[in-house]
Amino acid sequence: MLPQSFPNPLTEFLFSVFIGIAILITFYTCNFYYLVFLSKQKHKSQRAELVDPPTVTIQLPIYNERYVATRLVNAVCTMDYPKEKMCIQVLDDSDDDTCDIVENLVVDYQKKGFDISHIRRDKRRGYKAGALRNAMKYVKGNFVAIFDADFIPPSWFLKKAIPYFCKPEIGFVQCRWGHVNEAYSALTKAQALSLDFHFLIEQNAKSNSHLFMNFNGTAGIWRKECIDDAGGWHTATLVEDLDLSYRAQMKGWKCVFLPEIVVDAELPVQMNAAKRQQFRWAKGSMQCAIKLLGDIVIKKIPIDTKIQAFVQLTRHIVHPLMLIQFLIMPILLAAKINIYLVSTLPLLTIAAYFAIGPLGYLMIIRDLWGSSWKSKALAYLYLVIYTAGMSVNNTVAVFDALFGKKNEFLRTPKYGIVNKTDDWRDKAYNLPFTKTTLLEIFFGIYGVIAIFIAIFSNNPVFVPILGIQALGFFCISYLSISHSTFKKSKLQKPHKVSKVEKMANGYYKLAVVGIIGFIIFGVIVAFDGYKNSVYPLEESRGIMSRIQATSDPQQIITDLRTVKVLLPKEGNPVWIFPTDSTDFGLIQKDLNTMISTVDKISTSSQDSAAFHTGMFNVHFQAQTIYTNLMDAIPYMYVSISNIVFSSVWISAIIGIFAVIKRKKERLKSYEMSDEV
């Protein structure tokens, strides 16, 4: 990128931040391609013949899983493995009717001769990690298999996975996740592809090398000795699996990823559930980074292992970086700052973005899926939009971790959704949208404004980048709202819908319509504001640039009169520490002086010294006004009127949000009164 001048120190600082973020994001992206290279290295994990099957404890941590608990227990109990060699523990912290469902199942299987127990705790201390830690004292044998409630282990799982513990240093094996409902919607297709990239690229690469690999919390088996040696399950983070697997590998234990063993699982079908899951993963990873990176630095492990551990644990920092870059880009474009890779070849910039992003990923997709790559390519489009929109949710998670905010381990609801015809909207556990949705709406509207800025500043090559991000924010916020529901569960007793309940649901629908209406209203007002306040300054700046390139008095006078009409007659957009350079009243006087000067020299010969001197002064004044307008434009976005309007607009949406929450609580209170 070529050197350039900046209108003020703030713009220069923002440009430096923008470039620094671009370098960091490129680093994380290129690291993924490095893992792609490692994943292609041929490495076959060793396994031994299973002559005498060892005793395996199978732990099933669940919490309020009325729709999938039966499916999970049945799948485990029908495994093709000696019944006497399986110790099944259902770690049930439920506080709804799931505990009754599980209790009846356990009793039935106990009568059939299964060693299965229903383990409950008086309090849900430590959430999933606490349940796993509590159950360790009841473990039988030296192997512990773990399955979350949404997984469906195949009958041959243990027979195929246990033989990979042929070496005593193998601490755990991780199997690949399958997707029982991948084709359900664009949301599930995007999530499935993201997980496939994680397992087929990242996990495969790390298993093939000496890099640290993380346990994914389910669909895997641990050696009990490894869990004990690593310090057991800790409850300090939201991702106890990542924490334990790193501590185990720092102790010298090895791990194996088995891509050929696929365990199907149910993907979240509700946007708010997917956001909750992503939030937990993002915050938990950053918590592990804070907790473990110090030990990783001082441990005697290869330098590339340390680097990859740092990347793995901190990769969610990309989300706030993306948001910051997204906020800065239109400001730099409005200030006419060149952010192309090569100033004379703007298309090279967009080509570079797509080369290290979509094009590279499409090549990977074609290599991994062969003839079926086209359907995955469409899923990649969904994933790009999904990832862009999810950056707000994950950014909040990252800052929660960095500021040490404590969060409850919030489970991801499962509904037993397998087929496209299955419906989840009238089931229990549905989640309402949160205040994060308001931020997503804000960023979506900001993206629309940024697109107009890119167009009017003659930088249309950035429109696709800004457009994808804005579309992502709108899609995520729209699905968050549309997937919210306050309906009763089918499992609740049928009752006559009360007048109050009808009113509550009616308020909810009106609130959703109100939010959508305010979004549209905000976009219209923002566009109108840009058109009437910012764009005239942009146009004037272009005219002043043209004046500097001409010596035609009549054309200059015409242009100056046009600028006088475009610019405000008075006022100063810099309302904090205003300067004379951005005072529109003084700029109008300078324009009058320029018109007077051009009038005087227009009667002189163009070869005379007077003409050249006068024209030099006019060009110099044009350059000065051009610079003054560059200084003024950024402050037009943060004018007092814009701040007041934005505050009122945000307050209105928050007010609508409060109405939704209040009506939801009222509905819940009536539901509770019905049940009493």
CB atoms within 10 A of CB 3: 6
412 DSSP assignment = P
Residue 419 exposed, middle or buried by CB count within 10 Å (0-12, 13-18, 19+): exposed
Two tokens, residue 560: 């100056």
Rounded to whole angstroms, the maximal C-alpha distance in the chain is: 112
Two tokens, residue 608: 């005379």
| Residue 49 identity (one-letter amino acid) | E
| SS3 category, 126 | coil
Q: Where are the beta strands (DSSP E) in 536-588?
A: none
Instruction: Report residue 270: phi and psi, to 5°.
Output: -100, 135
CB atoms within 10 A of CB 625: 23
Instruction: Assess contact for 263 and 152: CB atoms under 8 A.
Output: yes
Query: What's the CA angle centered on 204, arms 198 and 208, to 5 degrees?
Result: 150
Query: What's the CA angle centered on 309, arms 308 and 312, to 5 degrees?
Result: 85
Residues for the chain: how many in total?
676
Of 92, 196, 241, 559, catalytic: 241
Helix or strand holding residue 221 (H, E) = strand 220-223
| Residue 147 identity (one-letter amino acid) | F
| Residue 24 identity (one-letter amino acid) | L
Q: Please indicate whether residue 304 is annotated as part of the active site.
A: no
| SS3 category, 2 | coil
Instruction: Assess contact for 223 and 143: CB atoms under 8 A.
Output: yes
Q: How far apart are the first and last CA of the chain?
A: 70
Residue 396 to residue 437: CA distance in whole angstroms: 11
Half-sphere exposure of 613 (CA within 13 A, CB side): 5
Which residues are paired to 56 by β-bridges?
Answer: 86, 143
Which residues are paired to 264 by β-bridges?
Answer: 152, 178
Of 92, 93, 150, 583, catalytic: 93
Two tokens, residue 55: 């005793």
Picking from 409, 416, 411, 417, the residue whose alpha carbon sits closest to that of residue 431 is 411
Picking from 580, 584, 610, the residue whose alpha carbon sits closest to that of residue 597 is 610
Instruction: Report residue 665: phi and psi, to 5°.
Output: -65, -35
CB atoms within 10 A of CB 10: 13
Q: Please indicate whether residue 631 is annotated as part of the active site.
A: no
Residue 111 to residue 397: CA distance in whole angstroms: 46
Give the residue ranges of DSSP H helices in 78-185: 98-111, 127-135, 157-161
- Residues annotated as part of the active site: 93, 241
